[in-house]
Amino acid sequence: MLLERIYDNDLAQASYLIGCQAQGEAIVVDPRRDITVYLELASQHGMRIVGVTETHIHADYLSGTRELAQQTGATVYVSDEGGPDWTYGPLFDDAVRMKDGHEILLGNIVIEASHTPGHTPEHMAFLVTDGAQASEPGFYLSGDFVFVGDLGRPDLLDAAAGGIDTRFQGARDLFASLRDRFLTLPDYVQVYPAHGAGSACGKALGAIPSTTVGYEREFSWWAKYLNDDDEQGFVDELLSGQPDAHAYFARMKVENRRGPALLGPLSSLAEHDAKSLAETLDSDSAIFIDTRRHTEIAQGTVLGALIIPGIAKAASYGAWVYDPETETRPLIVLATSAAEAQEFRDHLIRVGIDTLTGYATSLDGLTLTPPQQVAPDQLDTVDGALLLDVRTRNEYEEGHIPGADQLAGGRVLWHLDELPTAGTIVTYCQSGVRNTVISSALRRAGYDVVQIEGSYAAWAASQDAREPGLVG
């Protein structure tokens, strides 16, 4: 049996290819939308992708299940649990709809779907038995149910999908899924989750790629509550301190349930020279993405540009500042080459931003304007209508500039009603990266924004220099 983990550091998301070498067949679990990596991996191992499935209706990225099936002719398998509100849409009419206990066979490999509600009502985990080696499951693809050191949060339906108090039932369902499903498995079963450290789908995910049932039974934070049959204590602990949910999660839920639009073969990206780029931006017929570091942006950028500093977090930050439901203008990205621009596009389509059409390799000939900034020790000279902390709620609670309101970066553009309609908004994050991203989007939306130079870290250092120990 072959089991390969494909990890996206941008969204902290893991998908898996399971293959039978004897049959030369493979299935992919929880694929992302840029599918070349799966096609190449299967080819490397001399396998055909004959199946594609997912553990649940995802919120943090757009699923590649339909895309991969269209490209390969693979059979699609989706959950048919959770009730009518969590049934996949008509674009999945050709899919096999799985009930608890459904088995997918690949030669001697048996993949059994196990209904594990909690993170979402329809959630499935997959028990994998390598029949050539054993008669019992040895591997467990846990999706967003069990992570290394944590659990999938049950509050996303409230925080990002319009639910009302669904988190309490979700937390109780997680308790039951742990008790009745996960903890009934032998300690030796290896657990492969769908997310790692950095994901907003939990509050304390580990960076280690896998774990075992026995390790989580012994060392997880939740084990004591299961040992004591303390459901209420578990619910209270699980729901406390969850990170802010990004607003784009709501769009992902809707699109993944309905079925993401198919991309098909992607066209080449057009290269813009200085003249064509200037003409395009002057006509406001496209939006420019400046990908340089935030320290370079401070020296000047194109008016109206969105800032996404580098490929590493292009999907995450892109989904913060560009909403394809309301914005139709195409995107042009600053990149060193066509290959780098294509990599940016791959990241963006993971969150349903399909409008990157071109790239430029230089800003020569363009007028660059430095964003407005204020030094931390000059903050009291700015007559601001709002002091805005764009860090997470947990960061804010650990220490913030007095008088600041908090609105996490991934939520700002969807909560403009919480911002003043006139006056200057003074913004900061921790080091300046997120602040630069969000400030660019606010300026593009017409707000007068002044960034605190060096953000909270610089402000805290300036305060500590004055009076050690009195920061935050």
Q: Which CATH number fits domain 2-258: 3.40.50.1000, 1.20.1250.20, 3.60.15.10, 2.40.40.20?
A: 3.60.15.10
Q: Boundaries of CATH 3.60.15.10 in the chain?
A: 2-258
**pTM, entire model:** 0.94
The burial class, CB within 10 Å (0-12 / 13-18 / 19+), for 52 is buried
> What is the amino acid identity at position 176?
A
Euclidean distance between CA atoms 152 and 201, whole angstroms? 6
Looking at residue 465, what is its pLDDT? 61
Phi-psi region of 371 (alpha: psi -120 to 50; beta: other; left: phi over 0): beta
φ, ψ for residue 369, nearest 5 deg = -120, 125
- What average pLDDT does range 404-422 have in this prediction? 96
Asked if residues 415 and 438 have their Cβ atoms less than 8 Å apart, the reply is: no
Q: Boundaries of CATH 3.40.250.10 in the chain?
A: 270-360, 373-466
- Please say whether the dihedral angle defined by the alpha carbons of residues 416, 63, 30 and 258, taken in this order, is positive or negative: positive
Write out pLDDT tens, residues 326-365.
998 999 999 999 999 999 999 999 999 999 999 999 999 8
- Range in 203-207, 262-266, 288-292, 297-301 the model is least confident about: 203-207
Confidence of residue 165 (pLDDT cuts 50, 70, 90): confident
Looking at residue 48, what is its pLDDT? 98
Looking at residue 470, what is its pLDDT? 44
- Please say whether the dihedral angle defined by the alpha carbons of residues 55, 56, 60 and 61, taken in this order, is positive or negative: positive
The burial class, CB within 10 Å (0-12 / 13-18 / 19+), for 276 is middle
Looking at residue 100, what is its pLDDT? 98
Write out pLDDT tens, residues 169-202.
999 999 999 999 999 999 999 999 999 876 666 6
Confidence of residue 243 (pLDDT cuts 50, 70, 90): confident
> What is the CATH code for 270-360?
3.40.250.10
- What average pLDDT does range 130-134 have in this prediction? 93
How does DSSP classify residue 280? H
Asked if residues 176 and 184 have their Cβ atoms less than 8 Å apart, the reply is: no
Looking at residue 458, what is its pLDDT? 95
> What is the amino acid identity at position 28?
V
| Residue 367, C-beta contacts closer than 8 angstroms, at least 6 positions apart | 302, 303
Here the tokens at position 102 are 């459904």
- Backbone Cα Rg of the chain: 24
- Please say whether the dihedral angle defined by the alpha carbons of residues 249, 255, 257 and 260, taken in this order, is positive or negative: negative
> What is the CATH code for 373-466?
3.40.250.10
Here the tokens at position 238 are 């699980």
C-alpha separations of 118 from 48, 178, 236 in Å: 33, 10, 14
